Structure 1
Amino acid sequence: MFEVKIKRLPGNEDIPIPRKMSQLASGFDLVAAVSEPVSIFPGEWKLIPTGFYLEMPAQLEAQIRPRSGLALKKGITTLNSPGTIDADYRGEIGVILINHGKETFIVNRGDRIAQMVFQHVPEIRFTETEQISETDRGKGGFGHTGI
């Protein structure tokens, strides 16, 4: 188990810390810490504050992902998905929401807007070489096996 420290920004005592909404959920729901309702028009995106900072061990990264219900029902998703929060970041956690829907989307204080999933970050050592092994796939990329 990893310990992740969380610090609320002043004035956000009413905002719940991230939490899982079911026992086996992998993501922790994040809520909006906006001071007043924020309108996101179709095709527009905005940075939505969450009201907290994180401190996590070097072995972790936090990924910000969309909520499937918002995506399906409203066309709302996260613009850079998944968004990465590195272990050495100490600023406020923010969520970039984009409206792919047909109607203006209103973000209210306390609305669940995204989820945060933690991933283990392995230590990697690159070894420079003159040759790499061959595979059946080879250089095939982007749709090489069909659509």
Structure 2
Amino acid sequence: MNLPVQKLRKNAVLPTRATAGSAGLDLYACLEAPLTIAPGELRQVPSGVAAALPQGTVGLLCGRSGLGVKHGITLSNSVGIIDSDYRGELIAGLCNVGSEPYTLMPGERFAQLLVVPVLFPEPQEAAQLPQTVRGKSGFGSSGK
């Protein structure tokens, strides 16, 4: 399967997979200069690219584990949703939940794009829902 990707800026880098088994495509920061993200700060980071996701899929923008664990840099909305009919630039909101400023360099990998199948169910009101063993129990009810 191919994923059509358009460079929107001259210094944009096409998304890549780190290994053949990598589920996500790494996105690269399309910045003119280094970008420092202070603790508690929210910043939008452009990738410089747009993609034509296949119909019946959704793009999930996810953080990179190394940035999160080592530096406290994560996505401000946890996971970004890219609908298959969106054709604009892929931009991620990053936040610094760490205790030190972090400087993102131009061309640095800053997020991942996963392309996954999605279902499109039509909500239908029901007087009752089918019963399950778990029922309405939630928030830790299945154990530690």
Distance 1:56 1:6 in 2: 9
Partner of 2:41: 44
Q: Work out the percentage of aligned pairs sharing the same amino acid.
A: 37
Structure 1: which 5+ runs fail to align? none
Q: Map 1:10-29 to 2 at 5 A.
A: 10-12=9-11, 15-29=12-26
Out of 21, 27, 31, the residue aligned to residue 30 of structure 1 is 27
Query: What secondary structure does 1:71 align onto?
Result: helix
Q: Look up the equivalent residue of 2:110 and give its one-letter code.
A: I
Q: Map 1:105-144 to 2 at 5 A.
A: 105-144=102-141
Structure 2: which 5+ runs fail to align? none
Q: CA deviation at 1:117?
A: 0.8
Out of 87, 101, 104, the residue aligned to residue 84 of structure 2 is 87
Partner of 2:59: 62
Q: Look up the equivalent residue of 1:141 and give its one-letter code.
A: G
Query: What secondary structure does 2:54 align onto?
Result: coil
Distance 2:63 2:35 in 1: 18
- Give the TM-score normalised by structure 1: 0.90
Q: CA deviation at 1:97?
A: 0.9
- Give the TM-score normalised by structure 2: 0.91
Q: Look up the equivalent residue of 1:140 and give its one-letter code.
A: S
Name the Cα RMSD after superposition: 1.5
Distance 1:129 1:101 in 2: 45
Distance 1:113 1:10 in 2: 17
Partner of 1:145: 142
Q: CA deviation at 1:96?
A: 0.9
Instruction: Work out whether 1:75 is the aligned partner of 2:72.
Output: yes
Distance 2:30 2:63 in 1: 17
Partner of 2:4: 5
Q: CA deviation at 1:122?
A: 2.3
Q: CA deviation at 1:123?
A: 3.5
Q: CA deviation at 1:82?
A: 1.5
